[in-house]
Structure formats: structure tokens, C-alpha cells
């Protein structure tokens, strides 16, 4: 499948409402049956080119299209756990998520930390690490190789996203860090890596809270995330 066909069929759809597009069910069925490595290459290209290539589409189209990739029951992103996928490709997908936030979501999402947003992309960004396939909980409970390397990469992306100058992206990263800390604490075997990751998350949050540019509402949310108990 060519990249342009992938983009058109996922995003070039008439919205039925703010949560749903007019899908071509035959095409989506064919798409999710593509070889894992092909789908993941398409996802990497989509994420890394999102700032430019998704520009023609509305926020509703982008939100629902991205949810198809990352959040749906047959989510293409879940292919990252397939046995025939190399660690290098898994890492490329994870690293591309930062580019998606930086080049696309940061430009489209709201930037007011105190106002409840009605932008559908704000909700998508906020729930990315909670509702999607790529979370530390998911990594821990699969049989993939190089789990430690994947978790390091996820934390790198969350740390990078926390530095993006957009309140929604920062809130999404805080939300993700809170859930990731809880996942590590509950499900990862105790040991050096376990301790290092928990310490790293705490240090990440402390640095963020110490910045003069951090809004107080986000600072308080980050302190809550540090406990690992976050909604």
C-alpha cells in the first residue's frame, strides 16, 4: 500500500460527527491485514510528516484518523508487538510519536491550562498514553524483546513532550508519566531498572515544576502525577 493511499483513506473522510468519520469498511479491513512491518512503516511516516501532510484535514478528521491508528480495537499501532517486528522498528515508531506531538498536535491543540477545551484533538492528545497501545503497561505484558530499551524510549518521548511549549502537550505528558509510574511500580520486577525509572520520572517532574514558565495548574497536576495516582 502506498503512503498517499493510506493518508487519503484514513483522513480524507467526511465527518459524521466529531467522534466518527464516514469509513470505507472494506479498505480499513484490508489495511489492518497488511504485514506488520508495512503498517508500522506507514505509521512512522504519518507521524513524522504529520505537521505538513495532515494540514489539509480538519481537526475532527485528524483526531478520528489518529484514533483509528492508535486507539481502535484493531489498532494498527498494536502491530508493534508482533513477533516479526524488529526492535529498531519499534523504537522508530516510539520516537516518531514525539514528532507527532511537536509538529502537529502542538500547533492544533489548545494552549490554555485553565480552560476546559472542546477541541477534539486536545482529548486525543491527553489520552494518548492512557488509551493507546503504546504504554509501559503494554510493553511489560507482552513477550517482545528489549523491553528495557523500549521503556527507556517511551520515557525519552514523554520527557521531550513535556518540554514542548504547548499546555495540552505538557498535560498529556504529565498524564502519561503518572500512569507510567504506576505501571512500573505495580508490574515491573523490582530491581535496578525499576528504581532508576521511578527516580527518572520523579526527577523529570521536579525539573518541570521548578521552571518559572510552568503554569501553576500544570505544576499541581504534575505533583499529583508524581504519586502515580492520576486520572
- pLDDT at res. 121: 93
- The span from the CA of 56 to the CA of 61, in Å, is 10
| Mean pLDDT within 26-39 | 80
Determine the straight-line distance between the first and last CA of the chain, rounded to whole angstroms: 38
**Residue 8's pLDDT is what?**
87
Using CA atoms, how far apart are residues 106 and 170, in angstroms rounded to an integer?
9
Supply the pLDDT for residue 86.
95
Q: Are 38 and 2 in contact (CB under 8 A)?
A: no
Q: Taking Cα atoms as reference points, which of 172, 171, 169, 179 lies closest to residue 231?
A: 179
Percentage of the chain beyond pLDDT 90 is 56
**Class level of CATH domain 3-226:** mainly alpha
How high is the pLDDT of residue 207?
A: 96
Q: By three-state DSSP, how is residue 20 classified?
A: strand
Q: What is the pLDDT of residue 139?
A: 86
Residue 73 has pLDDT above 60, yes or no: no
**Considering the chain, what is the average pLDDT of its residues?**
88
Instruction: Look at 61 and 32; give whichever has higher pLDDT.
Output: 61
Residues 21-46 have a mean pLDDT of: 80
Please give the average per-residue pLDDT across 118-141, as a whole number. Answer: 84
Per cent of the chain over pLDDT 70 is 90
Q: Which residue has the higher pLDDT, 24 or 168?
A: 168
Per-residue pLDDT at 23: 58
Tell me the C-alpha distance between 93 and 44, whole Å: 5
Q: Which pLDDT score is estimated for 137?
A: 80
- The mean-pLDDT minimum among 24-38, 53-67, 148-162, 217-231 falls in 24-38
Q: Where along the chain do its domains lie? A: 3-226
pLDDT of 206 above 90: yes
pLDDT confidence band for 37 (50 / 70 / 90): very high
Residue 26 predicted with pLDDT over 60? no
pLDDT band, very low/low/confident/very high, at 3 (cuts 50, 70, 90)? very high
The answer to whether the beta carbons of residues 55 and 108 sit under 8 Å apart is: no
* Rounded Cα gap, residues 128 and 106, in angstroms: 14
Amino acid at each position: 500500500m502506498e503512503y498517499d493511499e493510506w493518508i487519503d483513506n484514513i483522513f480524507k473522510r467526511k465527518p459524521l460527527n466529531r467522534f466518527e468519520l464516514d469509513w470505507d469498511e472494506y479498505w480499513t479491513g484490508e489495511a489492518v491485514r497488511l504485514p506488520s512491518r508495512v503498517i508500522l512503516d506507514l505509521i512512522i511516516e504519518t507521524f513524522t510528516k504529520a505537521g505538513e501532510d495532515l494540514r489539509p484535514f480538519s481537526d475532527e478528521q485528524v483526531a478520528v484518523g489518529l484514533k483509528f491508528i492508535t486507539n481502535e480495537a484493531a489498532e494498527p499501532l498494536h502491530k508493534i508487538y508482533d513477533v516479526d517486528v524488529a526492535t529498531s522498528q519499534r523504537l522508530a515508531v516510539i520516537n516518531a510519536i514525539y514528532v507527532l506531538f511537536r509538529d502537529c498536535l502542538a500547533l492544533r491543540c489548545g494552549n490554555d491550562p485553565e480552560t476546559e477545551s472542546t477541541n477534539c484533538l486536545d482529548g486525543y492528545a491527553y489520552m494518548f498514553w492512557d488509551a493507546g497501545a503504546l504504554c509501559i503497561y503494554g510493553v511489560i505484558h507482552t513477550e517482545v524483546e528489549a523491553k528495557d530499551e523500549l521503556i527507556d524510549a517511551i520515557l525519552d518521548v514523554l520527557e521531550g513532550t513535556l518540554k514542548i511549549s504547548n499546555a495540552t502537550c505538557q498535560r498529556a505528558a504529565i498524564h502519561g508519566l503518572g500512569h507510567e509510574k504506576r505501571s512500573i511500580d505495580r508490574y515491573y520486577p523490582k530491581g535496578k531498572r525499576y528504581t532508576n525509572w521511578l527516580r527518572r520520572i520523579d526527577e523529570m517532574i521536579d525539573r518541570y515544576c521548578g521552571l518559572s514558565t510552568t503554569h501553576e495548574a500544570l505544576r499541581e497536576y504534575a505533583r499529583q502525577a508524581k504519586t502515580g495516582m492520576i486520572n
